[in-house]
Structure 1
Amino acid sequence: MVGNIKISKTEQGIYKVEIENEDHTLGNLLSTVLQGLQGVNIAYYEIPHPLENKLIIYIDLEEGIDPKEKLIEALKKIKEINLEFRDKYLQKIKEMNINIED
């Protein structure tokens, strides 16, 4: 379960999003989707230390863009991708007459 989320700005003007209780799974997915959004110059993530249960995402945005709005936009995009995958998966299973309910 996602823990606390903190957003700050570095001296270089890059936003730093710290998310507790998350790992590479969310970091890779979120940073990849962020990179494809308009107004995002670059997005990447790191796990500071294996014993720290924390994910840090860095986002360089064009001037005047709110990092919270971009995070929400990215999460909505991830949800859309997930739903599209689910629908295609279920359709294929139906076409193949496979029963997945036990």
Structure 2
Amino acid sequence: MMTSDKGTGRRLVLLSGDDKSNEKCRTFVFHNEDHTLGNALKSIICRYPDVELCAYSMPHPFEPKMLLRIQTYGPSAVDILRRGLRDLEAICDHTLSVYEEELIQFKQASM
């Protein structure tokens, strides 16, 4: 396993103990992240039909990192992670947009 990358500022690290010959099976370490990102990403990625397994864990409450494991039937785990992050960003953007529109309507109705 890679040691902490606190000095480099890297927030995402590919676990070095993974079998490099199998791109379909990877564990990623997200530094300074917790259940908020872990559960959201897992929920999105698990719905992809080409994903065999997606799970996350928090090694210890005092250790500020989240581990995400992805195993796929076809595409590389890195590609699936990229897709999941893009989809999560799109969901967040949509949620923020709807909230801002509703807030404007609420303020106008209150006047």
Fold similarity call, TM over 0.5: yes
In 1: Cα distance, 2:65 partner to 2:52 partner: 23
The 1:71/1:47 distance shift into structure 2, 3 A limit, reads same
In 2: Cα distance, 1:16 partner to 1:45 partner: 9
- 2:49 maps to a residue whose letter is Q
Q: TM-score, normalised by structure 2?
A: 0.73
Residue ranges of structure 1 left out of the alignment (5+ in a row):
none
In 2: Cα distance, 1:14 partner to 1:97 partner: 49
In 2: Cα distance, 1:16 partner to 1:53 partner: 16
Match of 1:85 in 2: 95
Q: Which among 59, 62, 83 is matched to residue 48 of structure 1?
A: 59
Q: Which among 3, 11, 18 is matched to residue 3 of structure 1?
A: 11
In the TM superposition, residue 97 of structure 1 has moved relative to its aligned partner by 2.2
Task: Please report the RMSD computed on the Cα atoms of aligned residues, expressed in angstroms.
Answer: 2.1
Q: Does 2:61 match 1:69?
A: no
In the TM superposition, residue 41 of structure 1 has moved relative to its aligned partner by 1.7
Residue ranges of structure 2 left out of the alignment (5+ in a row):
1-8
- Identity percentage of aligned residues: 23
How many residue pairs get aligned? The number is 95
Q: TM-score, normalised by structure 1?
A: 0.78
